[in-house]
Amino acid sequence: MEILNIQDWRISVGNKPVIIAGPCSAETEDQVLITAKSLVSKGIRIFRAGIWKPRTRPNAFEGIGSIGLQWMKRAKEETGILLATEVATPEHLEECLQVGIDIFWIGARTSANPFAMQELAEAMKGMDLPVLVKNPVNPDTDLWQGAIERLQIAGIKRIGAVHRGVSSYDPGPYRNVPLWEMPIELKRRIPDITMLCDPSHIAGNRIMIESVAQKAFDLNFDGLMIETHNDPDHAWTDAQQQINPDQLERMLQSIKLRIVHPEGISYEKLDNWRDKIDELDLQMLEILLKRMEIVHEIGRYKKANNMTILQPERWNNVLMKNIRQSEEKQLGKDLITKIFFAIHEESIRKQTEIMNKKDPG
Ligand code: PEP
Ligand code: MN
């Protein structure tokens, strides 16, 4: 896949990550023009605004519709800022193309729907403009990848991904849980993809946006899409999570950009540590293998003696003992819990296989 050519639509701050900023929704002509002009004065080169809003329940404000595109067009004519908006149907796309939208994004509810994605991809066939695909609302990296593949098959060359977190029954302090494993895995599968983060929809509030954005840059993201409004308190949608252009500027100035392979530093130390890690990883694998061999023997013994695979008391003891030891060694209870759940799951799987084999095992 070709790399999304971001060079020509990067912005000014520091090492020039991609920054897309603008309101959740276009509301009035003044709001669009004032916000866009203010963003341009801060060096922002790409303006976002939602024209059609996918709202959870009807009767909420569902976007200003086509008229908003005219306001965006005017913002571009007056400032030269590039325009980005969400499209969910071929009709949206058609209208956007007519007014000169430069970049499209596909929202989280659309990328979760293969029928809608397929329809959009076909409507976009051969289009040369960049398309950004938000992760689906549910934590499904395959579905995200699938949405991107539909665009690739349609011949779209400049494709980016936007991480906006996922819905959860219990999202904790976030609006959408930032399952960072998802974008990390997508990037592993599609190394060339431009990966942006939408800290606004992850955080759901102004206070946490900066830390989410910083985390994204720590994880080598290429930029941000961030909701910015000239008067956030009175925004018609997502007021709690929008910031104003001054706040955006301050935030971008305080965020630290990091580089995967900085030049002019010595990699000797790092290489040494990595050699040691590789050696330890190998030892861990060998220990796991030995452990599994014993699990296998125990499985045969249980089968021969008609014992249950799960021995609740033993499992609880193993878990508790290791959690206690991890706490003593300050190793992180969560990590040890996850590791032992995974090991135990695999032991059960292995022993189930032995149990159900037809031969004497
Ligand atoms: C948005 O960016 O305005 C939006 C609706 O986001 P999402 O699709 O991520 O919910
Ligand atoms: Mn929004």
Compute the distance from residue 131 Cα to the ligand 2 centre, in Å. 18
Q: How far apart are CA 347 and CA 344, in angstroms?
A: 5
pLDDT value at 222 more than 70: yes
In-domain check, residue 47: yes
In this predicted structure, what is the pLDDT of residue 360? 54
Enter the DSSP assignment of 191.
Answer: T
* pLDDT mean across residues, the chain: 93
Q: Is the C-beta atom of 108 inside 6 A of ligand 1?
A: yes
Q: Is the C-beta atom of 160 inside 6 A of ligand 1?
A: no
Question: Taking residues 5-34, what's their average pLDDT?
Answer: 75
In this predicted structure, what is the pLDDT of residue 203? 98
Cβ neighbours of 74 (radius 10 Å) = 15
- One domain for residues 288 and 219: no
Closest C-alpha among 257, 255, 244, 254 to residue 41: 244
When computed from its CA atoms, the radius of gyration of the chain, rounded to whole angstroms, is 25
For the chain, count helices (H), then strands (E).
13, 8
Report, in this order, helix, strand and coil percent for the chain, each rounded to 5. 50, 10, 35
- Asked whether the beta carbons of 18 and 222 are under 8 A apart, the reply is yes
- One domain for residues 174 and 217: yes
> Whose CA is closest to atom 4 on ligand 1?
107
In this predicted structure, what is the pLDDT of residue 241? 98
In this predicted structure, what is the pLDDT of residue 359? 67
- One domain for residues 198 and 135: yes
Q: Structural domain of residue 282, as residue ranges? A: 268-355
Q: Is the C-beta atom of 107 inside 6 A of ligand 1?
A: yes
pLDDT value at 47 more than 80: yes
46-48 and 131-134: which strand pairing? Answer: unpaired
Pocket test for ligand 1, best of 198, 224, 225 (most atoms within 8 A of CB): 198
Pocket test for ligand 1, best of 164, 166, 240 (most atoms within 8 A of CB): 164
- One domain for residues 66 and 208: yes
Helix (H, G, I), strand (E, B) or coil at 292: helix
Q: Is the C-beta atom of 201 inside 6 A of ligand 1?
A: yes
> Whose CA is closest to atom 1 on ligand 1?
24
Here the CATH number for the domain that contains residue 184 is 3.20.20.70
* Intra-chain end-to-end CA distance of the chain, in Å: 48
Here the CATH number for the domain that contains residue 348 is 1.20.59.10
Q: Which two tokens stand for residue 275?
A: 């050699």
pLDDT value at 294 more than 80: yes
pLDDT band at 6 (very low <50, low <70, confident <90, very high): very low
Compute the distance from residue 38 Cα to the ligand 1 centre, in Å. 22
- One domain for residues 300 and 339: yes
- One domain for residues 65 and 150: yes
Question: Taking residues 159-171, what's their average pLDDT?
Answer: 96
Residue ranges in 190-311 assigned as alpha helix (H): 199-203, 206-218, 245-254, 268-304
Closest C-alpha among 88, 94, 101 to residue 55: 88
- One domain for residues 227 and 310: no
Total domains in the chain come to 2
In-domain check, residue 226: yes
In-domain check, residue 149: yes
Closest ligand to the CA of 238: 2
Compute the distance from residue 309 Cα to the ligand 2 centre, in Å. 49
Of the three residues 203, 230, 254, the one that is the final residue of a domain is: 254
pLDDT band at 331 (very low <50, low <70, confident <90, very high): very high
Of the three residues 196, 221, 254, the one that is the final residue of a domain is: 254
CA-to-CA separations, 173 to 202, 296, 336, in angstroms, rounded: 10, 43, 24
Compute the distance from residue 119 Cα to the ligand 2 centre, in Å. 24
Of the three residues 202, 224, 254, the one that is the final residue of a domain is: 254
Question: Taking residues 137-156, what's their average pLDDT?
Answer: 97
Close Cβ partners of 357 (under 8 Å, ≥ 6 residues apart): none
Indicate the pTM of the whole model: 0.85
- One domain for residues 87 and 184: yes
In this predicted structure, what is the pLDDT of residue 2? 33
Compute the distance from residue 300 Cα to the ligand 1 centre, in Å. 53
Angle subtended by helix axes 312-328 and 333-356, to nearest 10: 150
Q: Is the C-beta atom of 150 inside 6 A of ligand 1?
A: no
Compute the distance from residue 194 Cα to the ligand 1 centre, in Å. 18
Compute the distance from residue 86 Cα to the ligand 1 centre, in Å. 8
* Percent of the chain with pLDDT strictly greater than 70: 95
Q: Is the C-beta atom of 163 inside 6 A of ligand 1?
A: no
- One domain for residues 149 and 194: yes
In-domain check, residue 232: yes
At 177-207, the pLDDT tens digits run 999 999 999 999 999 898 999 999 999 999 9
In this predicted structure, what is the pLDDT of residue 12? 35
In-domain check, residue 142: yes
- One domain for residues 40 and 164: yes
Question: Taking residues 152-156, what's their average pLDDT?
Answer: 96
- Asked whether the beta carbons of 337 and 320 are under 8 A apart, the reply is no
In-domain check, residue 259: no
Question: Taking residues 109-114, what's their average pLDDT?
Answer: 98
pLDDT value at 18 more than 60: yes
In this predicted structure, what is the pLDDT of residue 261? 86
In-domain check, residue 288: yes
In-domain check, residue 93: yes
- One domain for residues 195 and 276: no
pLDDT band at 257 (very low <50, low <70, confident <90, very high): confident
For residue 201, which atom of ligand 1 is closest to its CA? 9
- One domain for residues 126 and 224: yes
For residue 135, which atom of ligand 1 is closest to its CA? 9
pLDDT value at 13 more than 80: no
- Rounded to 5°, the CA angle 100-32-74 comes to 40
- If phi over 0 gives left and psi between -120 and 50 gives alpha, with beta otherwise, what is residue 204? left
pLDDT band at 325 (very low <50, low <70, confident <90, very high): very high
